[in-house]
Amino acid sequence: MQPLIRNREFLLALVVIALIALIGLRAPEFVTPGNLAQVFTDTSILMMLALGQMAVIMTRCIDLSVAANLALSGMVVAMVNAANPAIPMPVLLLLTLVVGGALGVVNGLLVWRVGIPSIVVTLGTLSIYRGTIFLLSGGAWINAHQMSPAFIGLPRVEFLGLPLLAWTAIVIVLLVAAAIAWTRLGRAFYAVGGNPTAAVYAGLDVGRTQFAAYVMSGLLAGLCGYLWVSRYAVAYVDIAGGFELDVIAACVIGGVSIAGGIGTVGGAVLGALFLGITKNALPVIGVSPFWQMAISGGVIIAAVIINARSGRRRGRLILREAQAQS
């Protein structure tokens, strides 16, 4: 058993609680259950994207195109909904997943089959996906009045005090956690990123595992595409611009190693919550948004330092082995 104090998720949870308490001292209204639920709902999309990104990062890749994927998927469903409001919501949800998944497949194939470094692939597809939104929409916005009431209303449906958006995030977190813990693919993410050579020896296909991670990230980005567009009731070329950096930051703060092989669902969720809380709370206690960026930046670097310290490698121990033999 690992002592709790060495457990990254536990430490991060403490930090998040301390953060909430600290904010509560300055602004007690922030710590009401209603407001915390609001913060959680605000962070839902970031949380889900962070889970997909975590899978990708764990296999030693990166997905810079998540936000562009989200925007493109969101634009496609918004346009379809605007063009034909009669199309039922389940079809639109399926559509957003198909579009997001397909964009993930493109990333995954370029990494797996063509063998281009992931950062280059997704830097390219980031621009391509954004450009495609412009081509589809001609630069026009889809506004609230063009969307059907069901389209806008679905994520807002309340159930047990939380909107459906937050419930979606909870279900996704549980699903991903189960997939990572109890499927061979989930375990392969750790193996492929932790030691690719050993993964080959274990009979795993490194490229195919990376491909699967991209598809997962794409599917989640597609789902979040609809959620984002309906929540903010607008779709245009630049929605969620730069949001991929928040997603990667949530992973890094949550202890996902950028070198691959290390990461937990709990960590990624807490990382996202940490960013969500700072983003929501700092304006409340009157701190400028510029400080907020500096704080998340500082936290990212602190997280990386803490993670790097726990992973020092040892030498070959020739003498100790020799002694062990005699």
Partner 1 sequence: MVTVSAQKPSGEGPGEAQASQPFPVMPGEPAPLLFMRGIAKSFPGVRALDGVDLALYPGQVTALIGENGAGKSTLVKTLTGIYQPDEGQILLEGEAVTFDGAEDAMRRGITAIHQETVLFDELTVAENIFMGQQPRTRWGFVDWKLMRERTREIFARLETDIHPDTRLRDLGIARKHLVAIARALSVDAKIVIMDEPTASLSHKEVEELYAIVDTLKAEGKAILFISHKFEEVFRVADRYTVFRDGKSVGFGLMANADTNHLIRLMVGRTVDQVFPKIETEPGEAVLAVEGLCHPTEFADISFTLRKGEILGFYGLVGAGRSEVMQALFGITATSSGSVTLGGQPYRCTHPREALEAGLVYVPEERGRQGVVLQLPVFENIALPSLGRISHSGFVRMAEQFDLARGYARRLQLKAHSLSQEVGTLSGGNQQKVVIGKWLAMGPRVIILDEPTKGVDVGSKAAIHGFMSELAAQGLSVIMVSSEIPEILGMSDRVMVMREGRIVGAFERGGLDAETLVRAATGNEGAASTSGTASQEQAHAAPHP
Where does this chain bind partner 1 (CB under 8 A)?
2, 178, 181-184, 186-188, 190-191, 194-195, 197-205, 261-262, 314-322, 324-326
Contact 91, 148 (CB under 8 A): no
**CA distances for 192 relative to 38, 196, 255, angstroms:** 37, 5, 18
Shortest distance, CB of residue 163 to partner 1, whole angstroms?
31
Shortest distance, CB of residue 247 to partner 1, whole angstroms?
23
Nearer to partner 1, 42 or 205 (CB): 205
Nearer to partner 1, 159 or 182 (CB): 182
H or E element that contains 266: helix 265-284
The whole-angstrom separation of Cα 278 and Cα 283 is 9
Nearer to partner 1, 288 or 310 (CB): 310
Half-sphere exposure of 69 (CA within 13 A, CB side): 36
Tokens at 213, concatenated = 């991670």
Strands (E), 162-321: 162-163, 234-235
Strands (E), the chain: 142-143, 158-159, 162-163, 234-235
Tokens at 133, concatenated = 């939104």
Tell me 98's DSSP state.
H
Nearer to partner 1, 199 or 250 (CB): 199
Going 102 to 231 to 282 to 273, the CA torsion angle's sign is negative
Residue with token string 């595409």: 225
Shortest distance, CB of residue 52 to partner 1, whole angstroms?
21
Nearer to partner 1, 16 or 304 (CB): 304
Nearer to partner 1, 183 or 288 (CB): 183
- The values of phi and psi at residue 89, to 5°, are -60, -45
Nearer to partner 1, 75 or 191 (CB): 191
Shortest distance, CB of residue 195 to partner 1, whole angstroms?
5
Shortest distance, CB of residue 140 to partner 1, whole angstroms?
46
Shortest distance, CB of residue 309 to partner 1, whole angstroms?
14
Shortest distance, CB of residue 7 to partner 1, whole angstroms?
12
The whole-angstrom separation of Cα 86 and Cα 205 is 44
CA 128 distance to own-chain centroid: 20
Question: Coil, strand, or helix at residue 39?
Answer: helix
